[in-house]
Chains A and B, each alone.
Chain A
Amino acid sequence: MKEHLKKLSGTPEEKKELFEMFLAKLQSGQPLADAEIPMFEFLKKEILGGDDGV
């Protein structure tokens, strides 16, 4: 978890790496853990763009 949080506050490359890890997990059919869902939502907005704050 701490590693994830570090990347979440890290460089654009670190954020992208974390986002791609979550994507790979989803694409392999695994659900995200509860703690990973808000991180994924944030990264999705940050990397792909989207609405604010939610």
Chain B
Amino acid sequence: MGFSSIKDYVDSEESGKHTISIFRKSGTVSVGAVGIWLDFSVFGGNPKPNYYASNPLESAVLNGNFGLYHGQNVPTSKYLKRLTIPVAHGVGLNHLTLCDYLMYYPFVDGDETSPQPMENTITLPRYTNGEGVRAVMVSQSPYAGGQSYFINYTNSDGVSGRISPTVTSQSAAPISGSLPITQTQSECFLPLAAGDKGVRSIESITISAPMGGLHALVLVRPLARIAEFDVTSPVEKDFLTDQGTMPEIKNGAYLGFFAFHPGNPGAALALFGSIETVWGDN
């Protein structure tokens, strides 16, 4: 459900059923490398950094209040209205993917070459069957990289023992918050076995050879994409008018950005902007 008409949408805004919040995240280290993916939830600023700090290899969830703020829980449906990103860093342009961070498994040992089993003490809190849910690996510490890995997972049809195609970790700028995946991969998410539509849970990860570092496997639901295209002006996306559909944001969602940085900033990266949401009576 949502809005039955444009008037309904406008009425919701005018009656205060919307929120605007500002965020600013800053990477504390020089990235200095071309073509890497970053998880901005790990970086400091507002909202506060996310350390993926919980029991090693046990499924855990993040508190939605500590991600990008999208307003109160609502009895109806809430939607992403607009994203605005002023380009602050002045060098290079990010391609950003807004995700709902659903669940994670922390402290994967990058030096362990035998399969590391995950303990699924809890299950997905949203998108519970796993359809559309993707897995991503985020480093929790610096690492050497350069090795390959794959995951065993249960897909959205409930079939366990699925094996992802093998991906290789990048070895440039292996900092906390970067994603150990090469830019030749089409996106930051781990590829799925043929025919699979999503990940319900992860059973294990296997790394081919020691690559160092600690890593978190994170299950996310991609919601929206926005690309910076000019260092001299902000980029803005109004989802109703620019896309014709507004992504739904579930109650309790922990929102954050994955960014692909194709250039070489050579300086600490900052990301700031605003997120606007709206909800109706239906």
A11 to B66 Cα, complex, angstroms: 29
> Any chain A CB within 8 A of the CB of B60?
yes
Q: How far is the CB of B217 from chain A (nearest CB, A)?
A: 14
A42 to B61 Cα, complex, angstroms: 13
> Any chain A CB within 8 A of the CB of B53?
yes
Are A54 and B62 in touch, CB under 8 angstroms?
Answer: yes
Q: How far is the CB of B47 from chain A (nearest CB, A)?
A: 9
Q: Which of A30-44 contact B (CB under 8 A)?
A: 33-35, 37-39, 41-42
Q: Which of A1, A9, A45, A53 contacts B56 (CB 8 A)?
A: A9
Are B48 and A1 in touch, CB under 8 angstroms?
Answer: no
A54 to B214 Cα, complex, angstroms: 16
Are A54 and B48 in touch, CB under 8 angstroms?
Answer: yes
> Any chain A CB within 8 A of the CB of B276?
no
The size class of the interface chain A forms with chain B is 10 to 19
Are A35 and B53 in touch, CB under 8 angstroms?
Answer: no
Please name all residues of chain B whose beta carbon is closer than 8 Å to the beta carbon of A42 when the two chains form the complex. 51, 53-55, 106
Q: Which of A1-54 contact B (CB under 8 A)?
A: 1-2, 5, 8-9, 33-35, 37-39, 41-42, 45, 51-54
A8 to B107 Cα, complex, angstroms: 9
Are A53 and B62 in touch, CB under 8 angstroms?
Answer: yes
Q: Specify the chain A residue showing the minimal Cβ separation from B47.
A: A54
Q: Which of B103-153 contact A (CB under 8 A)?
A: 106-107, 109, 111, 140-142
Q: Which of A35, A41, A52 contacts B213 (CB 8 A)?
A: A35
Are A1 and B142 in touch, CB under 8 angstroms?
Answer: no
Given contacts A41-B53, A53-B61, A35 and B109 within 8 Å (CB-CB): no
Most chain B beta-carbon contacts within 10 A, residue among A38, A41, A52: A38
Q: How far is the CB of B115 from chain A (nearest CB, A)?
A: 16
Please name all residues of chain A whose beta carbon is closer than 8 Å to the beta carbon of B61 when the two chains form the complex. 52-53
Q: Which of A35, A45, A52, A53 contacts B214 (CB 8 A)?
A: A35
Are B109 and A5 in touch, CB under 8 angstroms?
Answer: yes
Are B52 and A38 in touch, CB under 8 angstroms?
Answer: yes
A9 to B141 Cα, complex, angstroms: 18
Q: Which of B60, B109, B141, B175 contacts A53 (CB 8 A)?
A: B60
Binding site for A on B (CB under 8 A): 48, 50-57, 60-63, 66, 106-107, 109, 111, 140-142, 175-176, 213-214
Contacts A2-B109, A35-B141, A35-B213 known; 10 new A-B pairs at CB < 8 A: A1-B214, A2-B111, A5-B109, A37-B51, A38-B107, A38-B214, A41-B51, A42-B54, A53-B53, A53-B66
Binding site for B on A (CB under 8 A): 1-2, 5, 8-9, 33-35, 37-39, 41-42, 45, 51-54
